[in-house]
Chain A
Amino acid sequence: GAGVSQTPSNKVTEKGKYVELRCDPISGHTALYWYRQSLGQGPEFLIYFQGTGAADDSGLPNDRFFAVRPEGSVSTLKIQRTERGDSAVYLCASSFGTSGANEQFFGPGTRLTVL
Chain B
Amino acid sequence: AQSVTQPDIHITVSEGASLELRCNYSYGATPYLFWYVQSPGQGLQLLLKYFSGDTLVQGIKGFEAEFKRSQSSFNLRKPSVHWSDAAEYFCAVGARGGGADGLTFGKGTHLIIQP
Contacts and interface: CB of A to CB of B under 8 A. Distances in A.
Nearest to B95: A100
Nearest to A40: B107
A42 B100 contact: no
B100 A95 contact: yes
The 10 closest A-B pairs by CB, nearest first: A45-B102, A42-B105, A106-B44, A100-B94, A31-B100, A106-B43, A108-B43, A43-B105, A101-B51, A48-B102
Given A95-B100, A106-B43, A44 B105 contact: yes
A41 B107 contact: yes
Nearest to A104: B103
Interface residues of B, number: 28
B102 A56 contact: yes
B100 A99 contact: yes
B101 interface: yes
A39 to B, nearest CB: 11
29 contacts: A3-B43, A33-B103, A40-B107, A42-B90, A42-B107, A43-B105, A44-B105, A47-B102, A48-B99, A48-B100, A50-B99, A56-B99, A56-B101, A56-B102, A59-B102, A91-B43, A98-B99, A98-B100, A99-B99, A99-B100, A100-B94, A100-B96, A101-B49, A101-B51, A101-B94, A103-B49, A104-B103, A108-B41, A109-B43
A90 interface: no
Contact of B32 (A59, A100, A105): A100
Q: Which interface class (under 10, 10 to 19, 20 to 34, 35 or more) fits A?
A: 20 to 34
Tell me the interface secondary structure of chain B in the complex. Answer: loop
A48 B101 contact: yes
A25 interface: no
Nearest to B97: A100
A80 interface: no
